[in-house]
């Protein structure tokens, strides 16, 4: 029998109601506190953050797992720290 490696649930960072540059700054600080392999799920409602956060994450060497629209002007961005 083989064991499946379980992925730890993502830490949720709720930035709804914040405007630039705060969602990005909050995501950067939250990723600093993560260990490699840990995930961060960022909830955003500011459209520029949907572009800025994934661009920053990839540029910083992290892995963007998904960017998903979850409602009217609501998105989830999931990032894995590398």
* End-to-end alpha carbon distance in the chain: 30
Domain ranges of the chain: 22-75
User: Tokens 């840990």 label which residue?
Assistant: 38
CB 79 within 8 A of CB 63: yes
Q: For 26-82, what is each residue's pLDDT tens digit?
A: 999 999 999 999 999 999 999 999 999 999 999 999 999 999 999 999 999 999 999
**pLDDT value at 23 more than 90:** yes
Per the annotation, the verdict on 8 as an active-site residue is no
**Distant-in-sequence, close-in-space partners of 76: CB < 8 Å, separation ≥ 6:** 41, 42, 43, 44, 66, 67, 68, 70
- Which of 12, 20, 25, 48 is catalytic? The answer is 20
Q: How many CB atoms lie within 10 A of CB 68?
A: 12
**pLDDT value at 5 more than 90:** no
**Distant-in-sequence, close-in-space partners of 71: CB < 8 Å, separation ≥ 6:** none
């Amino acid at each position: 029998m083989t064991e499946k490696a379980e992925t730890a649930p993502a830490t949720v960072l709720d930035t709804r109601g914040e405007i630039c540059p705060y969602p990005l700054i909050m995501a950067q600080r939250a990723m600093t506190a993560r260990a490699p392999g840990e995930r961060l799920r960022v909830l955003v409602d500011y459209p520029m953050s949907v572009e800025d956060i994934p661009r920053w994450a990839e540029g910083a060497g992290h892995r963007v797992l998904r960017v998903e629209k979850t409602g009217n002007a609501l998105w989830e961005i999931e990032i894995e720290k590398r």
